[in-house]
Structure formats: structure tokens, C-alpha cells
Structure 1
């Protein structure tokens, strides 16, 4: 059982190292911020449209 759990841990470690080297975890903050910025853009566009009418 110990051999099985250690081998699974090593596999996950190898997968993590490979994905980190390929840049999977480079930009982890901007997607969360991008969601907020898109909402603000839509709000300003909606305000501009209501002001025109």
C-alpha cells in the first residue's frame, strides 16, 4: 500500500513539474481580475447607451 501511494505521489509531482515548466501556472491572477474588468466595461457601455436615448 505504501509503494502504491508513493508511486502515485511521484506521478503527480512529475506532472506538476512538467506543467510548471510549460507555463501552466504563469498567469494566475489576471483571469480573476479580467472578470471584474469586463463587468465594469459592460456597465459603462450600458450607461452610455441610456444617456444617448
Structure 2
């Protein structure tokens, strides 16, 4: 029964650390572009100049936010 006095504070500390790491990841914009890596394996890097320009403009717009 005495182990509960150790496990409950330990669990609270672990949850607090997990929440802190989550908010750090959100503040450092880790979750901003979740689709890019998934699409990168589907498409070739052979883009036309116009497509590259549009992609750069879209990236610039996303970086401003």
C-alpha cells in the first residue's frame, strides 16, 4: 500500500513532462506541415519552373504564418 505514495507522484511528474514536451513541440512548429513528408515519396522532384515557383510561393506564405 505504501507504493501508491510513490507511484501517484511519479505518474503526475511523467504526465507533466509529457505535456511540457507537447507544448514545446507546438510552439516550435513541429506540427505545421504534416503532409509534405507523406507526399514527398509519391511525387518526383522533376517539377517545371512554373511549378517550382508556385511551390516556393506557397512555402513562403506558410513560413510567414
Q: TM-score, normalised by structure 1?
A: 0.66
Question: Whose helix fraction is larger, Structure 1's or Structure 2's?
Answer: 1
| Offset at residue 20 of structure 1 (A) | 0.6
Displaced runs of 4+ in structure 1, greater than 2 A?
none
- Residue of structure 1 in register with 2:32 after alignment: 26
**How many Å apart are 1:31 and its aligned residue?**
0.4
Tell me the TM-score normalised to structure 2 length: 0.55
User: CA RMSD, aligned part only?
Assistant: 1.6
Point out which structure has higher relative CO (alpha carbons under 8 A, 6+ apart). Answer: 1
Partner of 1:3 in structure 2?
Answer: 9
Structure 2 residue runs without a partner (length 5+): 1-6, 47-65
The number of aligned residues is 40
The higher radius of gyration belongs to 1
